[in-house]
Chain A
C-alpha cells in the first residue's frame, strides 16, 4: 500500500482525502460538542461557593471539545495536515458493511432467537464473508463453536446467556 502510494501525486490525493474527512468530522464533532455544552448547562449546580460542582469537568470538556473540533475543521478547510505523510487513508474492506449489518442484526435477534441459534447463523455468515467457501467446514465450526462457548459460559462461568424459544 505504502509502496503503491509512494509518489507525491498519491500523497497529495491522500492529503486531500484526509482534509475532506477532517472537514466532515470537524462539523459533526462541533455539533456534538455544542449538544454536550447545552446538556452541561442543564446540569444542577450543587456545590459550596467557590468550589467546583458536578458541571465543572463537563464545562472543561465542552471548552476543549469545541476548540479542538474547530481546529480540526480549520485544518481540513486549509487543506489538511501536510506534515502527516504517515497517514494512510483508511478504506473499509468491501465486506465491511455487510459484516456490520450482520453484526447489528445478530445483536437484535439474539434475545429472540437465543444465543445458540443466532450465533450459528452469525458465525456461518461471518465465516463466508471472511472468504471460507468450504461448506462442510463452515457448517461444522459454525455449529460446534457457538455450542461449546454456550455451555462453557453458562455451565462453567455461570453467565446467563439467552436460551431463546428452544432453550
Chain B
C-alpha cells in the first residue's frame, strides 16, 4: 500500500466510532486528571493502561492520547482557578491566569487558555504529520552503533531531572538499569539474577514497576492532604465569557505563534518538555509584547504563550517517540510501554510495518485536540465538579485499580507483589529526594540500549571507535553532549525565572 493509502487507512481508523469515542473519553478523563492537584498525566495513563489490554491498539492509543492532550489543558485549569498547577507544564500559565481570575475574569482566562492550547496542539499535529514519515525513512538506515547512540541520546532526558542532585539522578538511572538486567539477557538469552524463579525469567514487567513507583507514593502522599472539595471553587462561568473577544484574539496571535513553534520544537528534544517550553515561550512573549509591564498581573499574552507551548509539546514529543522509539518526556516513555504491550514497537519500522496504525495515531491526536476544545467549552462547569470528587473515595478506588492492573498483566499475584515492592521503592526514593523519572527511562530504554551496545561491539570485535566513525552515531553522541549542557543551563535558568516571578 502506498503512502496515500496508508494515510487514508489511518484516517479511517481514527474516525471509527469506537476510536472517536475513546479519544473523547480520554480527553474527558485527562482534563479531570490534570485538574486534580497531585495527580500527574503519567499516573493517569499508568492507571488507565490495564483497561486498554483487551482493547484494539487503535482504540487504546486513542484513549491514551486523549488523556495526554486533555491532561495538559486540565492542568492549566487548576493553575488558573486555584493557582495550583495541575501539571508542571502549567506553572507558567498560573502567573497570569490566576490574577485574571482574581479580577473576576475567570471565563476570559479559561477561554484564552483553551483556544491557545487548541492552536498549539493543532500546530504540533501538523508538524507530527509532516516530519514523522521523513524522519522514520531516515532512521531506517540506522545500524546498531547508531541505535545505541540514539538510545543514549534518549537517556539524556535524565539530565533535566537530575539537575537537582546529579548523584541521586544518576543513581536512579543505574537502579533502573539493574532492574532491566533481571531475566534473560537480550542477546544470548542467558538467565541473570533470576534465583531459579521462573517468574523472573521474563524479567520485571515495566508496567508493574511503573504502577508501584508512581501510584503508591501518590496514594500515600494524599493521605495527609485535605479533601479537594474543600479547596476547589466552582465560580459561575457563563459560556459566552469563555469566547475570546476580537481584540483578545488579535493580542493572542503572536504569543500563540511563539508558543506553538517553541513547544513543537522543544517537545522533540529529549529532556526539554512542557515546563521549559512554557517558560521560554512566556519569556519571549513578554519580550515581544508592547504591554510587558502587565505580565504577572493578568496579561492575555502571558496565558496564550505558555498554554500554546505546553500543548504543542505533546505533538512534538510524539515525533521522536513514533519515529525513533525514544521518548520526548516521561508521558511518552509510558506511551512507548503502552505500544509495546500491544506488540507495536515504536521506531522507524512502525511507519513501514504498521503505517496505517502510525497515521491512525496522528489522526487520533488531531481528534484529541478537537475533542479537547469541545469538551472543555461545553462541560467546564461539570468538569470542575468532577475534579472536586472526594479524595476519600477516589484514592481507594485507584488503589484497587492498581492491584487489578498489575494482576491483569499475566493473571499472576507475583506481579502484584512486585508492584507493591516498587511502591515501597518509590516511597524510599521520595524520602531520599531521588527523582523517579531517570529510573522510568532506564526501564523503557535499558533493554534496547544493552542489545544495541552488545551487537555493535560484537560486530566491531570490541572496538569502541565504531560509535565515533559512524556519522549518525557521532551526530547522536554530539547531540547528547549538547542536550546535557542545554538541559543543565535551561533547568537552572527556569529555576531562576520561577524564583524571580
A161: shortest Cβ distance to chain B, in Å?
7
Interface members, chain A 77-121 (any B CB < 8 Å): 81, 84, 86-90, 92-96, 99-100, 103-104, 106-107, 110-111, 119
The answer to whether B431 touches A21, judged by C-beta atoms less than 8 angstroms apart, is: yes
A28 and B178 alpha carbons, distance in the complex (Å) = 15
Q: How far is the CB of B442 from chain A (nearest CB, A)?
A: 10
Whether the pair A72, B416 counts as a contact (CB closer than 8 A) is: no
8 Å CB contact of B432 from A21, A57, A58, A92: A21
In the complex, chain A residues whose CB is within 8 Å of the CB of B401: 149
Q: Are B223 and A93 in contact (CB under 8 A)?
A: yes
In the complex, per-residue mask of A131-167: 1 if CB is within 8 Å of any chain B CB, else 0:
1100001000110011001000100111111000000
Task: Give the Cβ gap from B175 to chain A, nearest Cβ, in Å.
Answer: 8
CB nearest neighbor in A for B458? A51
Closest to B51 in A: A157
Is A7 an interface position by the 8 A CB rule?
no
Residue in B54, B177, B396, B495 whose CB lies within 8 Å of A123: B396
B420 at the interface (CB under 8 A from A): yes
Question: Which A residues touch B377, using CB under 8 A?
Answer: none
Q: Is B165 an interface residue (CB 8 A)?
A: yes
Contact B171–A107 (Cβ < 8 Å): no
Which residues of the partner chain B approach A52 to less than 8 Å between Cβ atoms?
453-454, 457-458, 462
A57 in contact with B413 (CB, 8 Å): no
A54 contacts B185, C-beta separation under 8 Å: yes
Count B interface residues, CB 8 Å: 63
CB <8 Å contact, A110 and B461:
no
Q: Which residues of A contact B175 (CB under 8 A)?
A: 65
Chain A interface bracket (under 10, 10 to 19, 20 to 34, 35 or more): 35 or more
List, in ascending order, chain A residues with CB within 8 A of B227's CB: 130-131
Please report the C-alpha to C-alpha distance between residue A110 and residue B277 in the assembled complex, in whole angstroms: 45
Complex contact B404–A107 (CB within 8 A): no
Q: Do A159 and B400 touch (CB < 8 A)?
A: no
Q: Please give, as numbers and ranges, the residues of chain B lying within 8 Å of A111 by CB-CB distance.
A: 413
Q: What is the interface of chain A mostly: helix, strand, loop, or mixed?
A: helix
A132 and B397 in contact, given A72-B168, A72-B171, A159-B408 (Cβ under 8 angstroms): no
B390: chain A residues at CB < 8 Å are 132
Given A52-B454, A159-B408, CB of A126 within 8 Å of CB of B167: no
**Known contacts A48-B458, A57-B453, A81-B165; A161 and B407 CB within 8 A of each other:** yes
Q: Is B437 interfacial (CB-CB < 8 Å)?
A: no
Q: Is the Cβ of A43 less than 8 Å from the Cβ of B399?
A: no
Contact: B413 with A157, CB < 8 Å? no
* Docked pose: A145 CA to B399 CA in angstroms: 12
Picked from A58, A69, A146, the residue with its CB within 8 Å of the CB of B171 is A69
Q: Which residues of A contact B (CB under 8 A)?
A: 18, 21-22, 25, 29, 36, 39, 43-44, 46-48, 50-58, 61, 64-65, 68-69, 71-72, 75, 81, 84, 86-90, 92-96, 99-100, 103-104, 106-107, 110-111, 119, 122-123, 126-127, 129-132, 137, 141-142, 145-146, 149, 153, 156-161
Known: A43-B190, A52-B454, A103-B399. 18 other contacts (CB 8 A): A18-B433, A29-B171, A54-B187, A57-B177, A61-B178, A65-B171, A68-B174, A92-B427, A94-B224, A99-B223, A100-B220, A123-B400, A145-B393, A145-B400, A149-B400, A153-B408, A157-B51, A161-B407
13 contacts between A and B (CB under 8 A): A25-B432, A87-B165, A87-B433, A89-B433, A94-B224, A95-B223, A99-B219, A100-B424, A103-B423, A111-B413, A126-B395, A127-B393, A132-B390
